[in-house]
Every structure is written in structure tokens, then in C-alpha cells.
Structure 1
């Protein structure tokens, strides 16, 4: 199970790295919101195809749908902001700063989901923030 999670995480890392380059190229000739919309329309097609080839039945629970909708709102806001940052600045900096979303997620997880963090987690977050500070200057 852990090995499968790591496999998917590595594929996600590689795909998002390649996506960042194409997003930057797209914003050179398209408005950020247009580039993002096209990207996400294609992404929805990929997700629907993935769902279609799975053998598991699709289940839509009320709370899950509501959380997915809320996540979509914030994903859209974040994506438009990211594409706008790409259009106006350096790809390495825009991607690195926005990649710190995990810090926000970790803080919210502790505050609202009962997640715990230890000293190693805090050290990792601190080093990540330090790396971004170095890259952004």
C-alpha cells in the first residue's frame, strides 16, 4: 500500500513539474485565466477517463461532494494566482513559492483535523521556507 502511494506521489511530482513548464509557456501567449481554464478542462477529461477505466463503482456522498466543491473553489483561486505569477515572473520562483501550499495544509490539518506534527516535521517546514526565501531573493 505504501509503495503504491509513493509510486503515485512520484508520478504526481513529475507530472506537476512538467505541467509547470507548459503552464509558463501557455501564459506567454494566453491570459492566465484562459490558460488555466484550458488546462483544467483537459485535466477533467483525464480524471473522467481514469474514473471510467476503474473497476470500482462511483459513490457520491453529500459531504464528500460539498468538500470537493469547496476544494475546487480554492483550487481555482490558487491556479489562477499561480498562472498569473508565471505570466509576471520567474517560473522557478512562482512554482517554488506556490509549492509551499503544504505548509498551509499542515497548519490547517493540525488546527482542524487533529493531525500532529513532531520536531522533524517542523524542521522540514522551516527548511522549505528557508529554501523559498533563498530562491526568491
Structure 2
């Protein structure tokens, strides 16, 4: 199994735990406050990983700026996701917000010269159909 697949499966499992626990947390906390606690823990994990990875700290102002803007999108998206979880079905909130994969794939093809095979395009199409069916 490639590193990409191994890491992606790990991410999927960890995101599953995160999404489930986020739904539980929004039952007792306002969504935006649950996000603050979630991010506090997440920052702790990320900092610990960086410190113990042994990799040199990279100072690349342009890329750091892009990462910070990405964080703005992530923060806003996470608050919207938690609000969706707190106001209704986890299945609907997760499936619709999870369609970011489609937008990311399209942006990568248009701006990063990546390509999609017909099988991948078909898979994305099935994902769209799945979201439509889950949201009914």
C-alpha cells in the first residue's frame, strides 16, 4: 500500500472520529465554542507532531501566507459545519460538507494541472448522487 493511501485511510478514520465527536459536542456546547476547543486540541497535536518529526522548520513567507489563508477557510468552514451539525442530521451535514472533495478536485485540475481519470470522474459523480440521496 502506498504512503498516500495509508495516510489517507488514517485521515479518513480520524476525521470519522472527529465528525462523530463534533456532533456529540454540539449537543452540549454552542457550535462556535466547540470549534475553539476542537482547534485548541488540534493545534496541540500539530505542534507536537512538528516538534517530534525531526524536520527542519521551513521559513517560506509565500507558502506560510497561503497556509494562513487556508486556515481562514478551514476556520470558517469548520464553524459552518459545526452549526450544521448542531442544527440537524449528522448524515446530511457531513455528506454535503464533505463535497469539498469535488470542489478541490476541480480546482486542482483547473489551476494545478492535475488530471482525473474517467474512473475518478465517475467516482465523483457517484459522490454527488450519494449527497443528493442522503439529503432527501
- TM tier, smaller: over 0.9
Q: Which runs of 5+ in 2 are unaligned?
A: none
Looking at structure 2, the residues matched to 73 and 115 of structure 1 have their Cα atoms a distance apart, in angstroms, of 24
Looking at structure 2, the residues matched to 90 and 49 of structure 1 have their Cα atoms a distance apart, in angstroms, of 33
> Where does 1:97-112 land on structure 2 (aligned, <5 Å)?
97-112=96-111
Worse-matched range after superposition: 79-88 or 55-64: 55-64
> Where does 1:110-121 land on structure 2 (aligned, <5 Å)?
110-121=109-120
The equivalent residue for 2:50 is 51
TM-score by length of 2: 0.95
Give 1:93 deviation, angstroms: 1.2
Looking at structure 2, the residues matched to 122 and 4 of structure 1 have their Cα atoms a distance apart, in angstroms, of 23
Give 1:54 deviation, angstroms: 0.9
> Where does 1:1-137 land on structure 2 (aligned, <5 Å)?
3-137=2-136
SS of structure 2 residue aligned to 1:28: coil
SS of structure 2 residue aligned to 1:34: helix
Q: Which runs of 5+ in 1 are unaligned?
A: none
Looking at structure 1, the residues matched to 76 and 24 of structure 2 have their Cα atoms a distance apart, in angstroms, of 20
Looking at structure 2, the residues matched to 87 and 20 of structure 1 have their Cα atoms a distance apart, in angstroms, of 12
Give 1:60 deviation, angstroms: 2.0
Looking at structure 2, the residues matched to 123 and 21 of structure 1 have their Cα atoms a distance apart, in angstroms, of 28
Q: How many residues align?
A: 136
Looking at structure 1, the residues matched to 108 and 69 of structure 2 have their Cα atoms a distance apart, in angstroms, of 16
Runs of 4+ in 1 over 4 A off after TM superposition: none
TM-score by length of 1: 0.94
